[in-house]
Structures are given as C-alpha cells and as structure tokens.
Amino acid sequence: MADIILTTLNARYPHCAFGLRYLMANLGELQARARMLEFDINQRPVDVVEVILRHEPKIVGLGVYIWNATQSLQLVANLKRLQPELTVIIGGPEVSYECDQQEIVRLADYVITGEGDLAFAELCRDILLSHGPPSCVIPAPPPDFDQLALPYDLYTDTDIAHRVIYVEASRGCPYECEFCLSSLDVPVRNAPLEPSLAAMQRLLDRGVRQFKFVDRTFNLNLKISSAILRFFLERYRPGMFVHFEVIPDRLPQALRESIKEFPPSALQFEVGIQTFNEEVAKLISRRQDNAKAEENLRWLRAETGVHVHADLIVGLPGEDLASFAAGFDRLVALGPQEIQVSLLKRLRGTPIVRHDREWGMVYSPHPPYEILQTKLVDFFTMQRLRRFARYWDLIANSGNFVETTPLLCRDGSAFQGFMRFSDWLYAQTRQTHSIALARLRELVARYLTEEAGLIGEEVHATIQGDTERARGGAVPDAPPRQARHLAKSP
C-alpha cells in the first residue's frame, strides 16, 4: 500500500523515468508513503490502472510527455471513472503549456506546470493535511539546484543492469530556437559540481558504465564540461560509454584536449545541426556559426574516436526540398556516424506557431504533432521525406549497412541517391516498419543490381561483409550495441 503513487508511461522499457526519481528524491518526509511505478506505452492503460489501484493510493502523480500523451489521457480517464475521490496530479512538458485546450487537464484534479521537483511535494502535503489548494493549475518556478536532492541513488540494481541511466549537469538553454521547449527555459542553471560527481562515482561503484547526460547544451560552461570529461576519463574502463548533447560550433582547444584523450567509442556527441540554411535559421531565431560547426565536425571525425550523432529537421518554415537536400548532402560529406532526420513537431508552448500563416504550416493535431505540409513542401513530398527518414534509420544508422550505404548514395548527391532508393523500397514493400533484416538485405541487393546497375558480385560481397561485421559486433566507430538507442531516447 502507498498513499502516493508516482508513475508514467515510458517510451519503452529501457528508458528510466528521470523526472519521477527527482520527484521521489524531493518528497522529504513523504517519501516513506510513496512508491514509483513505471510502465511503457505498449502496456494497455486499463492494465496500468489495475496495478496502480491495487496499491490503494490517495494521490497519483503522472508524468505526461509527447510520447505518452494519448495513453495518459486514457489512464487518467479510467482512474477518475473508477475512483472519483482519488486525487490525480499531472505534470510534465506536454501539460505545462496550453492547459486550457487539453482534455487531460480537465479530467485531472491538479496540473503542475514547469519543474515540479519541489512543487509536487508541497502539493501532496497540502492535500494529505487538508483539502488542497483551490486552483487546479499550479505554476512551479524553476528551482535552484541547491534546493534539490539529487535522485541518482534511487536507480535500482535492475535499472543499472537493464536500463539507460540518465544524469544532468544543467537545466535550461541560452538559445531561442523556436521549435524547442528548451528555448523557454532560461537562464541556464548548473547542478552543483562536487555533489553531482560524487553521485556519479557511486553509480560507477555500483557498476554503471553507460551514462546519458540530458543537458541541452553540455559544452556551454567550459569549466564544468571540462571537469566532467576529466572525471570520466580518469575513471575509464572498457565498456564505458557517455552521451552528451553539444553545441556544434563551440569546441575550444581546452575542451578538444580532453576529448582527444578518450578511446574510440567511449563518447557519443549528439550534434544538433537542424539546418544549414542561414535564412531559415534566422527565421526561427537559431544562432549557429555553420563554418565553425563544420570545422568542429571534421575535427571530431579526423582526430577523435567520438561517435557523432547529428540531427537535421525536415519541414522548417522557409525551407524547401532543394534546401533540405543541400543541407543533407553537406552533412553527409562531414562523415557523422549517424544522421537523425526528424520531422518538425509543433510542441505545445513553442513560438514556432507564429510562422503558421505566412509559411502555410499544417501540423497533425495528435501527438507527436508532426508537420504535414508547408507552403514550400506539399503533403505528398512530406510523406516521401517521412519515409526517407525512416529508411535512413533502418539502413544508414542501424550499423547493418556500413559499407553498403555509400553505394545507395552515389551519383553526386547523397540525398537524391537515397531518395530514389527510398521511393523504390516503398513501392516494393508499402511499409516502413516490420521489415525483417534478411528481407531488407535482399531488397537492397536487388535495388543496387537491378535499378542502380552495379555488378552483382561486388554488391553481394559488400552486403556480406556488412553482415559479418554486424554479427561480429565489430562495427568501426560505433558505440556498444546496447547503447545505440541512447541518442533517440526521450
């Protein structure tokens, strides 16, 4: 039994709910009366309800995100139908903005907007001691890190053995990119360095070897980022893998010196390029020195063993197909091991909506609110780009076609070459998911020989080499297989 249940629906099992652990760590004297229950979006909401209600809680706190918004609505609706007297508190980025437009907010008893680390505990005390505050929407000001208890000791042995371990060195972002929620979270606040590193040491002592830093701008504060890199470098053991999201045009010499010392595949940098079109970047208030970003990417690939995961966005206002294609080719030429192509999303609260009328932005009204068409990219072209992104992930980012992918991208333009393959693959399969790897290899071989006119023996030798490489796990410049999902996790 527990008076307070903290819960959420993760995107998948390996993803720990970092936010829940912060809430639990900061419950103070209520921690003994609380329990965390984690589920994933593949579980039926009605089954989740059953597990929750068996604990006979008085309060249920639910984290709502873009990936679980639909299931969370069903969960809250069922909880309130079965036990109307149960107090349901929701929070998270999906319900922190545009509250008046959301059915889940109407159904819940309270919504905490913003960072609820401290506000949730205060609200629970209010509810358990009396009847709670009259207002159902409770704005939570950003807490100072010095006020927070760190959550890292709440990772269980099972988490450490089977799940991604999330950590952070800061919150907030100084940039104002209009598509990103982090642009609303200013100023940047840094976690206290010594307590954080002490917590990392305890995790290392418990056997953690893979860390994902959720900071949006890890390399903003060079003193802190250098200290963290040095901490992990001094404690490096085989199998260690640390993921950071870095600002692409900010790698000064002091930081480079530490980065160069790491062995291959120990670091992964997620590098948000998003667009190389400077007019588009200006339109969405994105500040980026493209020449410096290119220089840094070349240096990372030539001089370090860092696994580079770079991001591009499809469907930004003002960007047409030719512009995106040029940016894609420019990024491919820089040689990152992974390029994540993502469709623009209209996240609640972000100012990207100011471009809707001028640029004909049409988004899906359902999570994850992806772009459907723009003034410059019609719906049918956007669908082709959606499939392009999915197939690129299956082929180029999977590690299963390391040597074969360049064969699909020849003929001058990597984008045009792979787009032709993407169109052909969809015509053959009419699907973008659930394509077995063996069948995918056969289809790639067919395309290269029958459509691209390459010599069959050379194609099959290349695919066979990729197959053996993947089976042996010796993919050059790749992180450990179990870490591949890190950059795509929420």
Digitized pLDDT (tens) for each residue of the chain, 490 residues in all: 899 999 999 999 999 999 999 999 999 999 999 999 999 999 999 999 999 999 999 999 999 999 999 999 999 999 999 999 999 999 999 999 999 999 999 999 999 999 999 999 999 999 999 888 989 999 999 999 999 999 999 999 999 999 999 999 999 888 889 999 877 766 889 999 999 999 999 999 999 999 999 999 999 999 999 999 999 999 999 999 999 999 999 999 999 999 999 999 999 999 999 999 999 999 999 999 999 999 999 999 999 999 999 999 999 999 999 999 999 999 999 999 999 999 999 999 999 999 999 999 999 999 999 999 999 999 999 999 999 999 999 999 999 999 999 999 987 899 999 999 999 999 999 999 999 999 999 999 999 999 999 999 999 999 999 999 888 744 334 344 333 333 333 3
How confident is the model at residue 381, as a pLDDT? Answer: 98
Pick the closest to residue 267 from 486, 37, 3 (CA basis). 486
How confident is the model at residue 389, as a pLDDT? Answer: 98
Pick the closest to residue 7 from 27, 29, 28, 24 (CA basis). 24
Cα-only R_g, the chain: 23
How confident is the model at residue 186, as a pLDDT? Answer: 65
In sequence order, the β-bridge partners of residue 260 are none
What is the CB-side half-sphere exposure of residue 412 using CA atoms within 13 A? 2
Residue 282 tokens read as: 């200006």
How confident is the model at residue 23, as a pLDDT? Answer: 98
Residue 286 DSSP label: -
Alpha carbon 145 to its chain centroid, in Å, reads: 23
- 217 and 249 Cβ atoms separated by less than 8 Å: no
- 71 and 9 Cβ atoms separated by less than 8 Å: yes
pTM of the model: 0.92
How confident is the model at residue 474, as a pLDDT? Answer: 41
Question: All domains of the chain, ordered by start, with CATH?
Answer: 4-146 (3.40.50.280), 164-377 (3.80.30.20)
- 206 and 237 Cβ atoms separated by less than 8 Å: no
How confident is the model at residue 396, as a pLDDT? Answer: 97
